[in-house]
Amino acid sequence: MSEFQLHPQLAADTLHVAALPLCDVLLMNDANYPWLILVPRVPGASELLDLGESDRARLWREIDIASQALRELFAPDKLNIAALGNVVSQLHVHAIARFKNDAAWPKPVWGAQPAKPYSATEIAERVDTLRGVLA
Amino acid sequence: MSEFQLHPQLAADTLHVAALPLCDVLLMNDANYPWLILVPRVPGASELLDLGESDRARLWREIDIASQALRELFAPDKLNIAALGNVVSQLHVHAIARFKNDAAWPKPVWGAQPAKPYSATEIAERVDTLRGVLA
């Protein structure tokens, strides 16, 4: 089996925040929402069902970790957790902090608004804060 | 704690398919996509994090069961699994079989197309088939 490589689209849209035991945690470069993406470092995985049982259990744990970090840092009105992958089929799980006054509420975020890239200062600060909580 | 009651919006949009140990499995009345919704019978739950650890483990197992049923019956190009809840905050998980030629591909299904209700014959048949696989 080949080595794990992050899909170029995910690499282009995000910043690397942390490496948990199973997943890389990425921050979507879209200041509209605090938006994390978890990518299991499992070559060829596309569906949740493609993971073995212990990796699946680990993934759920890491989704909990990411969710708790978002809750602690941003106190969102709702968390959105989703594994879609219609565009990028490499398995990845969105964990998004949603607010009743955010750019897309109550719609899902995908395709709702053009991404609003963070400024250099904002992104450095946000990645630092997330690392502090996820580490 | 009060008793579990299915949210009226979910009740209106779906048909009851099966009761797994934790979740009611519902079929979205939208012939555009084979679309299941899992609702843990836990009063007051809104986020995945609101479930205790053993209920969370059970939910992941039941998501696997629903996913495998969709795969077996429909051989989709992609599964979409999501817990959003921006409109109906009662915890529920979507499990949707997606196809490259479906009505919304590659977009997410929510809000993409008006729902296309099944005919009475179609829905009876679909619910029966799903029950056979989920039972």
**CB of B60 less than 8 A from some CB of A:** yes
Mean pLDDT over residues A36-44, rounded? 98
Characterize A30-66 residue by residue with b for buried, 16 or more Cβ atoms within 10 angstroms of its Cβ, and e for exposed. bbbbbbbbbbbbbeebbbbeebeeebbebbbbbbbbb
What predicted TM-score, i.e. pTM, was given to this entire model? Answer: 0.97
* Residues of chain A found within 8 Å of residue B81, distances taken between Cβ atoms: 48, 82-83
Within-domain flag for B3: no
Tally of CA atoms within 13 A in the half-sphere of A21 that contains its CB: 11
Looking at residue A122, which CATH number applies to its domain? 3.30.428.10
- Whether the complex's predicted ipTM is more than 0.90 is answered with yes
Measured between CB atoms, which of A83, A87, A108 is closest to B84?
A108
Q: What integer is the mean pLDDT of A90-104? A: 98
Tell me how far apart the alpha carbons of residues A43 and A45 are, in angstroms, rounded to a whole number: 6
Contact B71 A49 (CB under 8 A): yes
Rounded CA gap, B26 and A32, in Å? 33
Residue A88: the pLDDT is 97
- Residue A3 counted as domain residue: no
Q: What is the pLDDT of residue A62?
A: 98
> A72, A84, A92: best mutation site toward chain B, by most B Cβ within 10 Å?
A84
Chain A contact for B68 (CB, 8 A cutoff): yes
Checking if the pLDDT of A19 tops 70, the result is yes
Q: Tally the domains of chain A.
A: 1
Tell me whether A10 touches chain B (CB under 8 Å): no
Would you say B39 and B24 are in contact if contact means Cβ atoms under 8 Å apart?
A: yes
Query: Could you give the C-alpha distances from B86 to A14, A32, A76, B22, B118, in angstroms and in order?
Result: 24, 16, 11, 22, 25
Name the minimum distance, in Å, from the CA of B121 to any CA of chain A: 30
CB contact, 8 Å: B63 with chain A? yes
Q: Look at residue B33 in the predicted model and tell me its pLDDT.
A: 98
List the structure tokens of A11. 């690499």
pLDDT score of A111: 85
Please name the residues in contact with A87: beta carbons below 8 A apart, sequence gap of 6 or more.
Answer: A9, B106
A64: pLDDT confidence band, cut at 50, 70 and 90?
very high
- Measured between CB atoms, does B113 come within 8 Å of chain A? no
Residue that is written with structure tokens 């619910």 in the block: B127
Q: For residue range B45-59, what is the model confidence (pLDDT) as tens digits? A: 999 999 999 999 999
Average pLDDT over residues B120-128: 96
Backbone phi and psi for residue B51, each to the nearest 5 degrees, phi listed first = -85, 145
**Per-residue pLDDT at A70:** 98
Domain of A63 in residue numbering reads as 8-127+129-133
**What pLDDT sits at residue A47?**
98
Res B84 pLDDT > 90: yes
Dihedral class, residue B85 (left if φ above 0, else alpha if ψ from -120 to 50, else beta): left
Residue B135: pLDDT band (50, 70, 90) is: confident
Q: Which residues of B3-32 are buried (b: 16+ CB within 10 A; e: fewer)?
A: eeebbeebeebbeebbebebbbbbbbbbbb
Q: Where are the alpha helices (DSSP H) in chain B?
A: 8-13, 53-74, 120-134
Please report the pLDDT score of residue A117 as a whole number. 97
Q: Supply the Cα-derived Rg of chain A in whole angstroms.
A: 14
Is A1 part of any domain?
A: no
Of B48, B84, B105, the CB nearest to A86: B105
3 state DSSP class of A65 = helix
Full strand arrangement of the beta sheet holding B78-83: A14-19, A23-28, A35-40, A93-98, A78-83, B78-83, B93-98, B35-40, B23-28, B14-19
> B2 in a domain, yes or no?
no
Size of interface A-B (CB pairs under 8 A): 91
Residue A112 has pLDDT above 90, yes or no: no
Confidence of residue B1 (pLDDT cuts 50, 70, 90): low
Indicate the burial class of A16 (C-beta count within 10 angstroms; 0-12, 13-18, 19 or more).
middle
Q: What's the mean pLDDT when you consider all of chain B?
A: 96
Q: Is residue B113 part of a domain?
A: yes
**Predicted pLDDT of residue A48:** 98
On whether residue B65 sits in a domain, the answer given is yes
